[in-house]
């Protein structure tokens, strides 16, 4: 099924001045996006409403956050926070402690509060994006103090701003969407909650207990934001209400009338890190980029290359780290595939790897959005991707890439063979138009519009 995506339901130009430490001249990516005249930017509400949301206080709650500008873990969350700050929001991040970061520090102009909740070894795995693996068996008991400590920290942040509207914005419905809803309830009536669904959180909602908890979290949120319309359909099935704009939720303690506002806002594409697109080298490798874990499908990519005729097998480079590194190295050795595992690289160096690629392969079993597909096209590289997340929206088959069904080495081998025999070009001008609604400015404008509808006057 083709994923139906848009950057936002309604977007406005930010009206408040940017903080000096986040001035546009220092962060060129945050100047990109959709101009006010762009047809994607459908307007709702008044200019006055938009200006009133310009000084909203936002506490972003996430299971992890980059420790520096060079940290490769979830750099899109830093892009997200900085885009909101440039749009005029006062942004603070609340997240679990990281063994290599102080409890309070500033990353890229964003204030970050890191919360202790468990032994360092548990906190380290959570910080590396392994929450769903960590919280199994007896280790699942640590989720309780994590949620409690994050909720208390986020609610304290909101209460310090008494008399001002505050949004607590939780990423992934579990655990941080649950944290956002609980923290907003603790903080009081002038605090709204946003639950942002990314895809992996929906994928792990697999049984009746998970769905019961997800339903309770989403129904109590002021707004539920998803990175794609397919995920919005999933969220809508839990809250059981039609999609689309509706009046802001009630401020009565007994609950919200009409349920949460539902909207779509993908994470911003960090085009500033990619450099100017250049022609793809004819003798370059096929490159895969991402976290080395089962859902990213790099085992399928290795199997697919092994199935190609020996003379047609491309040089393969996989950039990233993760828990499946040893398994993937062993698989490549067993299948006779020449694969270079380059490890993780800082975000500001990722453009160099895209520049080396003849094409980029994104073999994911599932994606909520698919940032690598968007980045590769923005870097001027053709893409072979599985038909999940944003890939069907971005890829025009035979022009800038090809699609394959997920979790099928045979199909991916056939598509890779065809792609390597076809002259593909990710036109920089076409790609810019395609990706414009997913830039930092449009992303921030969409969220500021959402905040404006849910923050109580």
- Considering the domain architecture, whether residues 217 and 335 belong to the same structural domain is answered as no
Residue 7 domain flag = no
- Maximum CA extent, the chain: 69
What percentage of the chain has pLDDT greater than the value 90?
A: 61
Domain match, 259 and 279 both: no
> In this predicted structure, which of 25-29, 85-89, 345-349 has the lowest mean pLDDT?
25-29
pLDDT tens digits along 196-219:
999 989 998 989 999 999 999 999
pTM: 0.81
* Residue 332 pLDDT exceeds 90: yes
* Integer CA distances (angstroms), 268 to 83, 90, 107, 130, in order: 8, 18, 17, 23
CATH code (residue 26): 3.40.50.2000
425 pLDDT above the threshold of 70: no
Distance, CA of 156 to CA of 146 (rounded, Å)? 15
11, part of any domain: no
pLDDT of residue 4: 46
2 in a structural domain = no
| pLDDT band (50, 70, 90) for residue 122 | confident
Residues 160 and 261 grouped into a single domain: yes
40 and 54 inside one domain: yes
pLDDT of residue 13: 35
- Is the residue at 57 inside a domain? yes
Distance CA(248)–CA(352), nearest Å, equals: 45
Residue 420 lies in a domain: yes
- Please state, as a whole number, how many other Cβ atoms lie within 10 Å of the Cβ of residue 257: 11
Using one digit for the tens of pLDDT, what is the confidence trace for 225-261?
Answer: 999 888 999 999 999 754 444 433 333 332 344 689 9
By residue range, what is the domain housing residue 121? 20-268+439-454
Q: Judge if 309 and 443 occupy the same domain.
A: no
What per-residue confidence (pLDDT) applies to 39?
33
The two structure tokens encoding residue 164: 């001002």
DSSP string for residues in 196-263: EE-SHHHHT--SHHHHHHHHHHHHHSSEEEESSHHHHHHHHHHHTS--S--PPPP--TT--TT--EEE
Q: Does one domain contain both 199 and 143?
A: yes
Q: Is the pLDDT of residue 131 over 70?
A: no
Q: Are residues 113 and 261 in the same domain?
A: yes
pLDDT on residue 130: 65
pLDDT over 70 percentage in the chain: 78
Instruction: Tell whether 213 and 341 lie within a shared domain.
Output: no
Is residue 342 a part of any domain in this protein? Answer: yes
The model's pLDDT over 99-120, given as tens digits with 9 standing for 90+, comes to 889 999 999 999 999 999 988 8
Does one domain contain both 303 and 160? no
Q: 281 and 259, same structural domain?
A: no
Give me the number of domains the chain comprises: 2
Helices (H) and strands (E) in the chain, counts: 17, 14
pLDDT given for residue 448 in this prediction = 96
Kindly state whether residues 256 and 401 are assigned to the same domain: no
Same domain assignment for residues 308 and 223: no
Phi-psi region of 353 (alpha: psi -120 to 50; beta: other; left: phi over 0): alpha
8 is a domain residue: no
Instruction: Specify if 255 maps to a domain.
Output: yes
């Amino acid at each position: 099924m083709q994923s139906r995506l848009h950057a936002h339901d309604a977007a406005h130009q930010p009206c408040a001045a940017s903080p000096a430490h986040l001035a546009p001249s220092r962060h060129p990516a945050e100047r990109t996006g959709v101009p006010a005249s762009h047809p994607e930017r459908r307007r709702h509400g008044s200019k006055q409403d938009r200006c009133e949301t310009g000084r909203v206080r936002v506490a972003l709650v996430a299971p992890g956050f980059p420790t520096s500008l060079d940290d490769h873990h979830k750099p899109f969350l830093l892009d997200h926070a900085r885009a909101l700050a440039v749009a005029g929001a006062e942004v603070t991040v609340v997240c679990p402690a990281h063994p290599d970061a102080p409890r309070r520090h500033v990353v890229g102009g964003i204030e970050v509060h890191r919360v202790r909740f468990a032994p360092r070894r548990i906190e380290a795995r959570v910080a590396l994006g392994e929450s769903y693996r960590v919280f199994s068996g007896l280790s699942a008991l640590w989720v309780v103090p994590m949620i409690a400590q994050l909720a208390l920290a986020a609610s304290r942040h909101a209460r310090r701003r008494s008399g001002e509207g505050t949004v607590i914005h939780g990423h992934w419905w579990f655990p941080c969407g649950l944290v956002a809803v609980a923290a907003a309830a603790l903080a009081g009536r002038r605090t709204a909650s946003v639950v942002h669904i990314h895809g992996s959180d929906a994928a792990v909602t697999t049984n009746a207990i998970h769905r019961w908890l997800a339903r309770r979290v989403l129904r109590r949120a002021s707004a539920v934001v998803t990175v794609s319309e397919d995920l919005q359909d999933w969220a809508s099935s839990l809250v059981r209400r039609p999609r689309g704009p509706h009046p802001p939720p009630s401020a009565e303690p007994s609950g919200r009338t009409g349920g949460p506002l539902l909207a779509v806002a993908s994470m911003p594409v960090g085009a500033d890190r990619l450099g100017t697109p250049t022609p793809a080298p004819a003798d370059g490798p096929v490159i895969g980029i991402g976290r080395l874990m089962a859902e990213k499908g790099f085992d399928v990519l290795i199997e697919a290359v092994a199935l190609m005729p020996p003379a047609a097998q491309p040089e393969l480079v996989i950039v990233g780290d993760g828990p499946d590194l040893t398994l993937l190295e062993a698989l490549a050795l067993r299948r006779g595939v020449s694969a270079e595992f380059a490890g993780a690289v800082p975000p500001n160096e990722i453009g160099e790897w895209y520049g080396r690629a003849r094409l980029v392969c994104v073999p994911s079993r599932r994606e909520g959005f698919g940032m690598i597909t968007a980045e590769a096209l923005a870097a001027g590289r053709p893409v072979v991707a599985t038909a999940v997340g944003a890939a069907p929206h971005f890829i025009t088959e035979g022009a800038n890439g090809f699609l394959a069904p997920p979790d099928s080495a045979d199909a991916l081998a056939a598509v890779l063979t065809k792609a390597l025999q076809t002259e593909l070009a990710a036109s920089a001008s076409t790609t810019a138009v395609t990706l414009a609604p997913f830039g930092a400015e449009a992303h921030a404008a969409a969220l500021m519009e959402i905040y404006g509808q849910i923050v109580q006057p």
